[in-house]
């Protein structure tokens, strides 16, 4: 479980193809001091297990299913990724509860820039949209954000300069893919409503 507050932006050292997926190595100077093999780390919002630590770098096995269902399949050496350590009992939750289980891949459709904040519009698929509600929470590439508006197949979030500076989202261009994880409460409600409503009811 994570909070959606990015700890560090790491550098992708290598992405090596192995049987069943890839071996991902991420460098983050000083970040791994309290991390050990078996620890859970969210990389761009995807929960992965540390397999080994080599100096300033940590290694992760990423299976083909994860590569297919998230943007991790697009990672290349030299890229940058958002990092989060898992929550400990008693930690503050300044964002919202994030599981690290990506629901879908969204696409940055437009950006409305302003000095104090920028409004980013993300296009989501039809299966994900019912879980996206104004003023609700969503994790984009692991970042806990509040949904500002929903229009058609798009939703918007407001990003302040600090978020743009301290995460990778400020480097995204229109057309870029992003990982989406909807709020667990909204997702559970939608799932239960679908289960009890007659088939064919919208």
Which pLDDT belongs to residue 185?
A: 83
pLDDT tens track for 25-65: 999 999 999 999 999 999 999 999 999 999 999 999 999 99
CA end-to-end span of the chain: 32
Give me the residues paired with residue 82 across strands.
Answer: 9
**Whole-number pLDDT of residue 114:** 83
Place of tokens 């997926």: 21
Query: d(Cα 184, Cα 142) in Å, to the nearest integer?
Result: 14
Query: Do 104-196 and 8-85 have the same topology in CATH?
Result: yes
pLDDT at 106: 98
What is the CA 32 to chain-centroid distance, rounded? Answer: 20
Distance CA(177)–CA(164), nearest Å, equals 16
Q: Where are the domains of the chain?
A: 8-85, 104-196
- In tens, the pLDDT along 128-151 reads 999 999 999 999 999 999 999 999
Q: Rg of the chain over CA atoms, in angstroms?
A: 17
Contact 99, 181 (CB under 8 A): yes
**Angle at CA of residue 182, ends 150 and 32, nearest 5°:** 130
In angstroms, how far apart are the furthest CA atoms of the chain?
A: 56
**For residue 66, which phi and psi values (nearest 5 degrees)?**
-65, -40
**Which fold, 104-196?**
Elongation Factor Tu (Ef-tu); domain 3 (2.40.30)
Instruction: Tokens 């991390």: give the residue.
Output: 35
Across the range 5-34, mean pLDDT stands at 96
- Cβ contact 94:172 at 8 Å: no
Each residue of 85-129: pLDDT tens digit? 999 888 888 889 999 999 999 999 999 988 888 999 999 999 999
pLDDT tier at 12 (50, 70, 90 boundaries)?
A: very high
Q: Count of CB atoms within 10 A of residue 190's CB? A: 18
Question: 8-85: what CATH class?
Answer: mainly beta
Least confident of 18-27, 59-68, 70-79, 109-118: 109-118
Shortest CA distance to 12 belongs to which of 66, 70, 49, 56? 56
Whose CA is closest to 10, among 74, 56, 73, 66?
Answer: 56
Q: What is the pLDDT of residue 201?
A: 59
> What is the model's pTM?
0.92
CA distances from 12 to 17, 28, 49, 78 (A): 14, 9, 16, 5
């Amino acid at each position: 479980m994570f909070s959606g507050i990015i700890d560090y932006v790491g550098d992708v050292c290598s992405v090596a193809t192995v049987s069943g997926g890839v071996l991902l190595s991420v460098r983050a100077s000083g970040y791994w001091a309290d991390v050990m093999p078996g620890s859970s780390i969210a990389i761009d919002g995807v929960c992965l297990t540390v397999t080994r630590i080599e100096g300033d770098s940590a290694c992760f096995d990423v299976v083909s299913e994860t590569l297919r269902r998230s943007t991790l399949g697009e990672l290349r050496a030299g890229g940058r990724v958002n990092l989060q350590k898992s929550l400990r009992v008693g930690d503050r939750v300044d964002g919202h509860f994030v599981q690290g289980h990506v629901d879908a891949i969204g696409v940055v459709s437009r950006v409305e820039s302003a000095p104090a904040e920028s409004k980013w519009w993300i296009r989501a698929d039809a299966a994900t949209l019912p879980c996206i509600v104004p003023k609700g929470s969503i994790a984009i590439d692991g970042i806990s954000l509040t949904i500002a508006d929903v229009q058609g197949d798009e939703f918007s979030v407001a990003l302040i300069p600090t978020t743009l500076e301290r995460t990778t989202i400020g480097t995204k261009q229109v057309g870029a893919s992003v990982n989406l994880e909807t709020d667990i409460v909204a997702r559970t409600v939608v799932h239960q409503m679908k289960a009890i409503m007659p088939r064919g009811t919208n």
